[in-house]
Structure 1
């Protein structure tokens, strides 16, 4: 198949998918007063056209090294998941240096609680909420769910999907690579080792952790691969059936694969969520 035919097929697929969902943009979700920067974060919702039934809900949190990225980049991803019968919520959050990991995680927690309280208005089932995050987004969904200082009751989360998640054991990583002003890491993580531990989902794994499906690229950033494997080995102590699916991809293609509407990942995720009562 020529590149022109592939491009034409992709454009046609996007057109069909766009017609099968409704996009709701820039919805305010923060209850707390916002002062971090000039732009208050909002969220987008991608709703399947079929509103006669309640759908599973997927909250996707983008990555970007905690200092970059935007929810607007992931509209195609949102529509693709909506085509697969998920009401898909994509929140923005304040980036470093205007916020540190704690503020970001609190905002994602507020996005989760907003979704729980409001998603029925968009044909979503508030009792069927799943979280997915790429890179820094994987870290934020894990921390919001697993560290009890954020989400008081993590039983409202049915499952987590890690897509090349970062910073799963930031304590160990920063002990070996102390934060500097490069990429604003001194702001994101602070220079306090106790904060590094608080920021590390690895230390909050227990029997109450929601079911986790992990995707990991074999060509990803070496430290990221190492800590995902380390995390997964500990996860198996509590979830012996937890899956780690490795793919022959680099870090960025691990998320852009979800821009392709015919990716087999959607079937895998559907099987994962359907298997959770």
Structure 2
């Protein structure tokens, strides 16, 4: 664990799934699980790691500290540390450290996008942001500042356990406010029947993203609800894998 940045955070493990013939050229996808920033764990997504490996993608599935014991900055710091570890060690497993993509579903999509667009998390670790692409799967929280102001939750309740009662933190951890031309490219997927908050914040995010990328790599899966957006990855022939393979330029 890094001193300073992570000294007050719990040590977390990660699972690595490597293709059988990984030769050091395999692209890497680091996946961050969802769970409303308060639940979930890496082992639930072993199925995803195994399927990605069979398709020639080296998968890293991570854990991060959860609320109410930890807050969103802690989660992002831990996610960035996992990316740093991956860059430093993935060649041991046959992965290419120069082809690291991050992905996440729901709250994990929020964290993946946040560490992609905010280099501060890597600056504190003393490394450059190595992320070359971001894959969002029905991501939550892309404009948490707007969402939490709209919802007006009672202090200390629901999402505020992760995002605190401080509106400055909400804005500080909303990826929409940090988009710029230096960000890695994004593949964005959203369910047409997802949660209203995800639908609205993704729409707001896309409006800003289009100022940088007029034709974003966006897929609306019209009949999908929020949980089926990740459950669909159980089905190996699913078209979402093709979208990911094309985005990651899997040979």
Any conservation in 2 of the 1:147–1:198 contact (CA below 8 Å)? no
Shift of 1:34: 5.2
Correspondence 1:256 to 2:231: yes
SS of residue in 1 equivalent to 2:102: strand
Match of 1:149 among 120, 139, 147: 120
Shift of 1:36: 4.6
Shift of 1:70: 0.7
Match of 1:208 among 182, 186, 198: 182
Any conservation in 2 of the 1:171–1:197 contact (CA below 8 Å)? yes
Match of 1:190 among 164, 170, 194: 164
Cα shift readout 1:237-271 (whole Å, capped 9, x = no counterpart)? 11223221011200000001112111111111111
Any conservation in 1 of the 2:24–2:91 contact (CA below 8 Å)? no
SS of residue in 2 equivalent to 1:238: coil
Shift of 1:177: 1.8
SS of residue in 2 equivalent to 1:150: helix
Match of 2:66 among 95, 103, 106: 95
- Partners of 1:53 and 1:228 in 2: how far apart? 35
Shift of 1:134: 0.3
How many residues were matched structurally?
243
| Structure 1 gap segments, 5+ residues each | 1-29
Cα shift readout 1:154-212 (whole Å, capped 9, x = no counterpart)? 652111011000000111111122344443x3321111111111010000001011101
Matches within 5 A, 1:54-69: 54-69=25-40
- Partners of 2:19 and 2:117 in 1: how far apart? 29
- Partners of 2:212 and 2:23 in 1: how far apart? 37
In structure 2, relative to structure 1, the CA distance for the partners of 1:148 and 1:51 (3 Å cut) is closer
| Structure 2 gap segments, 5+ residues each | none
In structure 2, relative to structure 1, the CA distance for the partners of 1:53 and 1:151 (3 Å cut) is closer
Matches within 5 A, 1:27-66: 30-32=1-3, 35-36=8-9, 40-66=11-37
SS of residue in 1 equivalent to 2:30: strand
- Partners of 2:17 and 2:231 in 1: how far apart? 18
Correspondence 1:162 to 2:141: no
Higher relative contact order (Cα pairs below 8 Å, separated by 6+ residues): 2
Max Rg structure: 1
SS of residue in 1 equivalent to 2:89: helix
